[in-house]
Structure 1
Amino acid sequence: MALKDDSVREDEEETLREFLADSECLEPLSEWTRRLNVFDVLKITNTEIRHSNVLAWLMDPAENHGLHDGVIRGFVAFAARRMVDDGGFDDLLMDCDGFSIRREWRNIDILAVNEKEKYVLCIENKIFSDEHDDQLARYRAEIEREFPDCRRRFVFLTPNSGEASESDWLAMGYGDVLDIIDRAVETAAPAPETARFIADYMDTVRRNILGDRELEDICKRIYAKHKRALDLIYEHRPDVVSTISNCCRKWIGEKAGNDKTIKLRKDTGDKWDTVFTTNLLPRLLPGIDEPSGIWGEYGHCVYQIHVNDDKDVPRVRLQLVFNFDGLDERLRGDCEEVIHAIEEVYKKVRIGKRWCIAWATDYSSVPIDSEEEWDKSLAKTLDGMLRQLKRFEGKLSEKQ
């Protein structure tokens, strides 16, 4: 088996060497990779909330972009042309200078309000996520309650004009947004610095949301030629979850060095979970630290710092995990007693045939726009969770 592993590794290394030796194949990408783009520098190209921030800024006629009411008027006209009743004609004739733009008003991405004209435009921006929890119906009901005397328009903005679950919401694509911005820039001729910023944003949308056809063709040719090497690179690429987990391992390693009640399990865990134990576990469950098939010498019960990335921003929590494989009847019964005590202390417990996961803390969000500060900001979050864990263990000890 070892020889096979060595040969596979050597084959993979040779594949990567061949790719590196053919660096000329990457030259056609230079037009894109050498271009300075402020959104790439700030690492916000794939952050939905940042796109909403830029759009809200461009839509506000009182902001300093120099486009005046060009962008908000474009959005109003887009909605008006798709109205099935006669209200759209009045929309096209109204004065758009009086708009105020609100961000995240009652969780709505962008809300444009013109009190003088009694008009409200509600925009839900969905680039990297989907609808959830009947949010469109809730938002519409909220707007109807708050603005009963206004003409109300609802826009569902997605990369490719995806249809909304609610018929009152008009489908709009980012191609439509670029057309609106392009016309506003051409009409207003903003200052060079502003024009460059707007051009960077439009370029970001084309590359990261809509897709650049020429760039796609170049990448397809390179991928066809070096598929194995690029698959290897992609498989081992650093990502948000891995980066956060590495920060978590560094943090728990420092804690274990200063607190002898904590033990870091370096050779266990995976991309999503950092494993550690405390002195409490073997005291509560004598024999639970006997070797298991899952965590080896570290037993059948461990703590995990779990990273979850199924929302708009990644989140972390501390959880206590039991594995029942190989436990005798006595230990299984002891585990069930502890789990019952945990349910009384902290209700969030999920029990299966082989596993039990008990939340020691709730999830905390990790801001994805401050990666450089994760060592500090994430450490503060984890410090707070560790204090919660100590209280959790204290209550658990009282129950036993």
Structure 2
Amino acid sequence: MNDYLGLLIAYQELPRVQRSSTFMEVAGYPHYENVCSNILAFFVDPTAEHGLGDLVLRAFLTMAGIPEASISSRLKITREHPAEQDKRIDLVIDAETFTLGIENKIYHWEANDLENYARVIQSLAAGKDKKPLKVILCLRIQADQAAPKGGFIRYTYPQLWSYVQAKLGQRLATAHPKWLLYLTDFMATTARLAGQTSEEIELTKFFSKHHELVDRLAADRQRLLNRLATTVRNILGRIVSREDISKYKRSRGVWETFTLANHFTIQGKRICIDLNGKLSGWSLVFFQLDDPIRALLPVLRQSPSLLSCFPDLEMEKEHYVLQRWPLQAQELELEEALVNAMKALIAAADALPNNLQDPTI
């Protein structure tokens, strides 16, 4: 038990993983390198309508080691730039002081002719005193991965985003809200594909370290849930044929494994008394399924028979909670309370005037 307590305390101290889906994940876009390259080409263009100026391009240059490179208006950005033998480079950015060639790698192996690409980038920079930059932009870098050919250098999306985030606050005033939202969605999507979010890393480490104890905890939890389900089935088996609680009965049975549902039809309304089992404990609830506006429930709730059995009814949303028990409550105690509640409901229904009108009218 102390092992479990320590495990739960350690888990509670982990950063919470807030993981709502990104738009790109929903659309399935990140699996296509062309889509990611198109998005990247848009955001590295300082003149594009995103309003971020040279933020993303400057982040790229800072990551590549030339943060002070000049970026003039005579910048040429080419998608699928031609190379030798009908090959194409994903993205080429040609400026007065540098030529940046980018091969975008989402999942795929580096099967490209990088030496071919390197010659093209070198030729664009040759004789013009420009610095050639040859970059493979990927999700992650393996520790044992050989250096790429052609003088290319690998960088990761998370590395790039760290430089973008460092300067993003300075551009919020001019950024177009729509494109800023798309950029942050793109950043979140690629970071998740790379498996680099710090919260997820911590969570992964936790389960890797404690997997044996977590497995034991999960097995014990399942045994406890099985016991709840057995209790519900046992009680149903003993009361299903009882005639003293069958008047007005519409249906009786197990619902979603851990609820013993008892539904009655009273003056055309569906009135329910359910016994619910959860890991937080047992509860006996009283509610009306249909037509909540013309409610019979409040009238029944005020009946002497129900008030005498359950004087302190607790309202929870549209349900009355008749009684609660801890998880270790005895099966016969739960059954007795359930039967008493159904008998009280039947007595309350018997005492109603015929064709009772809605008391709120």
Scaled by the length of structure 1, the TM-score of the pair is: 0.41
Structure having the higher Rg: 2
* More strand, by proportion: 2
Scaled by the length of structure 2, the TM-score of the pair is: 0.45
* More helix, by proportion: 1
